Amino acid sequence: MTVNAYAMGLVAIALAGSAVADEGATTADLGGKLTTFGAILAGNAAGTIPAYDGGLKVPAGLVPGDGNWPNPFANEKPRLRITAANADQYADQLAAGQLQLLKQNPDTYYLEVYPTHRTATFPANFLAATQRNASRKDCKTENDGLSISEGCRGGLPFPLPRDGRELMWNYILNYQGVNGWDWNHSAYVVNEGHATLTNTNRSTGEKPFYQMDVPGRDPKIAQRIWSRIVAPARTAGQASGYWDYLDPVADSRYAWSYSTGQRRVRKAPEFNYDTPNSAFGGVAFYDEIFLFSGKMDRFDWKLVGKKEMFIPYSNYTLKWGCDMDKKLMPKHINPACERWELHRVWVVEATRKDGVRHAQKKRRYYIDEDTFGAAVYDAWDDSGALFRTGSQYNIEAYGIPNNPQQDSYSLYDFTRDQYGMFGNGPTRYRQEPVAEREANPQTIAGGQTR
- pLDDT tens by residue, 112-144: 999 999 999 999 999 999 999 999 999 999 999
Dist. CA 282–CA 28, nearest whole Å = 47
Q: pTM value?
A: 0.94
What is the per-residue pLDDT for 391? 98
pLDDT tens-digit series, residues 247-275: 999 999 999 999 988 889 999 999 999 99
DSSP secondary-structure letter at 333?
A: B
What is the per-residue pLDDT for 435? 85
What is the per-residue pLDDT for 20? 53
Contacts of 311 (CB under 8 A, 6+ apart): 340, 341, 343, 345, 366, 368, 374, 375, 376, 391
Work out the number of other CB atoms within 10 angstroms of the CB of residue 49.
Answer: 22
Domains defined for the chain, CATH in brackets = 3-311+337-342+350-446 (2.50.20.10)
pLDDT at residue 8 tops 50: no
Task: Give the confidence band of 4 by pLDDT, cuts at 50, 70, 90.
Answer: very low
Dist. CA 440–CA 430, nearest whole Å = 19
SS3 18: coil
pLDDT at residue 14 tops 80: no
Amino acid at site 97: G
Q: What angle, rounded to 10 degrees, do the helices at 96-104 and 3-17 form?
A: 140
Work out the number of other CB atoms within 10 angstroms of the CB of residue 24.
Answer: 6
Strands (E), 238-339: 239-245, 254-259, 264-267, 299-312
pLDDT, averaged across the chain:
91
